[in-house]
Amino acid sequence: MVRYIVRRVLLMIPVVFAISVIVFFIIQLPPGDFVSSYALQMEQDGEVLNDDALDRLRESYGLDQAWYIQYGKWMWGIVTEGDFGYSFSYNRPVLDVIQQHMGMTLIVSIASLLFTYFVAIPIGIYSALKQYSFGDYVFTTIGFLGMATPNFLLAIILMYLSFTFFGDPMLGIQSKEFVDQPWSVARVIDLLKHLIIPIVVIGTANTCELIRVMRGQMLDEMTKPNVLTARSKGLSEGRIIRKYPTRAALNPIISTIGWSLTSIFTGATITAIVLNLPTQGPVMHKALLGQDMYLAGTWLFFMAVCTVIGTLISDILLAWLDPRIRMDRKGM
């Protein structure tokens, strides 16, 4: 197992490198650059920059060079100094911008991920064990509604309900009186209250989808010969369900961890804008619109790394969870 993990980690290096090249190249595809976006913004403010001024700006930012030279300098800075470049939009190093918003992004994303799995798996098991019962129909209906409702629309509905019943739409992640204040019990409670809507909104679509997957897998696994054999041996139903169909039904759930990590990060962008959340999604949106290539490139690079790491975690968990999965001797 250790050799398998080491080999997979070594294979991750060229994969991540190739993804970084593709990401940086794609960011450069739209016409213009940050200076063009900046000049357009200045025009809207009533100030016009001439061509010489634009050329000097491009030279100062290094945008007058070919994309592969810019990429080489960016990657060399990452490898040698841990420097991910400078954000043109924020006039700060990229790492400073990301670190400022990463804490809250991780809180919202991890909480949403935990909500997704802790809700979807038990409900999926229940729906399979109580197939065609009233509860199964209720959860099936909720599941279809959750998958069909856009996240931003659900966010608006929940904000309206919150304002109607509690007098507070729960915008943002903290109430105004707690912004820039030291942490206290009251501030933590306020944070937890504001997290309810983002977690429900971001986690709902994935939760509803996984409920359907878990239910279908459980129904399929419960008719397998190993389950029937275990019943014939007189094992308790609870032990049979835990040991055989549940473990096997978790395979497709576990295999999606790599995608779930990034989908929650990136899928929360529109929701974060609607709910005014200080997370990385709106920052990434602004970077793409303003063609802030180093900030956008670093965030997309981070997403790629999360996907690769998540896929590795999925493979390891699958090998541990399901004894039917066997790796070749070289991988072991």
pLDDT, tens digit (0-9, with 9 covering 90-100), for 149-189? 888 888 889 889 988 988 888 888 888 888 777 888 888 88
Tell me the average confidence (pLDDT) per consecutive run of 10 residues in the chain, 332 residues long: 75 85 81 74 70 76 79 86 83 86 81 86 91 89 83 87 86 80 84 87 82 89 85 84 84 74 65 82 81 83 80 76 55 44
Placement of tokens 């940086």 in the chain: 24
For 157-171, give the DSSP string.
Answer: HHHHHHHHHHS----
Rg (CA), the chain: 24
pLDDT (0 to 100) of residue 259: 67
Asked if residue 300 lies in contact with residue 74, where contact means CB atoms within 8 angstroms, the answer is no
- HSE toward the beta carbon, residue 252, CA cutoff 13 A: 17
pLDDT (0 to 100) of residue 330: 47
Report in angstroms the alpha-carbon separations of 310 from 17, 158, 193, 206, 243: 17, 31, 29, 16, 25
pLDDT (0 to 100) of residue 78: 85
Report in angstroms the alpha-carbon separations of 25 from 33, 140, 236, 279, 283: 13, 43, 58, 26, 20
pLDDT (0 to 100) of residue 45: 67
The beta-strand segments (E) located in the chain are 86-87, 92-93
pLDDT (0 to 100) of residue 265: 62
Placement of tokens 């990401």 in the chain: 23
- Give dist(CA 148, CA 151) in Å, integer: 9
pLDDT (0 to 100) of residue 322: 63
How is domain 101-290 classified at the architecture level of CATH? Orthogonal Bundle (1.10)
Using DSSP, state whether 203 is helix, strand or coil: helix
End-to-end CA distance of the chain: 5
In 3D space, the residue among 231, 234, 208 whose CA is nearest the CA of residue 127 turns out to be: 208
The contacts of residue 199 (CB under 8 Å, 6+ apart) are 108, 111, 112, 115
pLDDT (0 to 100) of residue 317: 77
Report the share of the chain in percent with pLDDT over 90: 3
Task: Report the residue count for the chain.
Answer: 332
Asked if residue 251 lies in contact with residue 217, where contact means CB atoms within 8 angstroms, the answer is yes
pLDDT (0 to 100) of residue 261: 65
Asked if residue 214 lies in contact with residue 136, where contact means CB atoms within 8 angstroms, the answer is no
